[in-house]
Amino acid sequence: MINKNENKKERAAIAKKKKLLEQIYNDLINNKTCAIVDLRSLPDRILQKARKDLRTKAKIIISKKAVLNRALEKAKINTKIKINFPAAIIVSNSLTPYQIYQSLKATAQKIYAKPGQIAPEDIIVHAQDTDLPPGPALTELKNAKINAIIKAGKISIQKDSVVAKKGEPISEIVAKVLQKLDIKPFQTGMKCLEVIYEGLNYTPEILEINEQTLNMELGFSIQCAKELSIQTNYPSEYSIERLLTNSYAQAKSLATQTGAYSNAYADELVASAIRQAEVLKTKTST
């Protein structure tokens, strides 16, 4: 009886897993954009805010690593990422790779250090007057090798102090002192690892460009393309007006020089003939 119940539960779990896999597969094939996101050490409040912000534009899919990998493989998503860590897949039909990347980048927040974390860079406590009252806090700062004194009834830090070097673990006392001084040396957020859009892969290095720079570069590229099409006489929506103006001016000049008649150049031809007649009259009268 026990074995039958266990087998029944196992079959139900397999069926549930297959159903979930099919749902994720359908989401992947029915959306143009797919992003793979690292969720390691992500506070739940950031994830919930992202869900709220993106709910009308994109879908955040969270599941077991094996299910996500299998769904990506089944949908033939050509990703370079092998998911072996807490991750999510974001799919969308309305957001571009750049827009998804910027949305995820905006989730980044500074956070306090925890004991045992590895310093991402030298952590410096700068010289400053604090609002900390004298007492245990002064002892803690000194134990963290910070040059601190009492000044006007408050703790004052006399000079910059490196409390943790890059690559070193942060001690418990240093983590406590940094929190008291409201120093947040770490950053967390939804880290975008890759975006796949209609079969093309976009890495963070490609997507890490601000909108102002992008607009400037696009404007410069359009201007270069316009000038090239004019120089090569290649018509486009950006150059056709200039090409027609140039062609008209060249045809008009040629007609004037050769005396070829056209309604478009009649006034210029008559004016040229009058000028030539005046010159000839002047020469014959002398």
Residue 259: per-residue pLDDT = 61
pLDDT tens by residue, the chain, 286 residues: 456 666 777 777 788 888 999 999 999 999 999 999 999 989 899 999 999 999 899 999 999 999 999 999 999 998 989 999 999 999 999 999 999 999 999 999 999 999 999 998 999 999 999 999 988 999 999 999 999 999 989 999 999 999 999 999 999 999 999 999 999 999 899 999 999 998 899 999 889 877 777 788 888 888 888 888 878 877 877 778 887 887 777 777 776 677 666 666 667 667 777 787 777 777 776 5
The residues spanned by each domain of the chain are: 2-108+189-208, 123-187, 214-285
Nearest Cα neighbor of 18 from 29, 26, 8, 7 is 26
CB 180 within 8 A of CB 140: yes
pTM: 0.64
Residue 213: per-residue pLDDT = 76
CATH T-level assignment (fold) for domain 2-108+189-208: Alpha-Beta Plaits (3.30.70)
As its CATH architecture, domain 123-187 has Alpha-Beta Complex (3.90)
Distance of alpha carbon 8 from the chain centroid? 47
Residue 222: per-residue pLDDT = 84
Q: Residue written as tokens 């299910």?
A: 67
- If you write DSSP's letter for every residue of the chain in order, what string do you get? -HHHHHHHHHHHHHHHHHHHHHHHHHHHHT-SEEEEEE-TT--HHHHHHHHHHHTTT-EEEE--HHHHHHHHHHTT---S----SSEEEEEESS--HHHHHHHHHTT-EEE---TTPBPSS-EEE--EE--PPSSHHHHHHHHTT--EEEETTEEEE-S-EEEE-TTSBPPHHHHHHHHHTT---EEE--EEEEEEETTEEE-HHHH---HHHHHHHHHHHHHHHHHHHHHTT---TTTHHHHHHHHHHHHHHHHHHHT---GGGHHHHHHHHHHHHHHHHHHHH-
Residue 217: per-residue pLDDT = 81
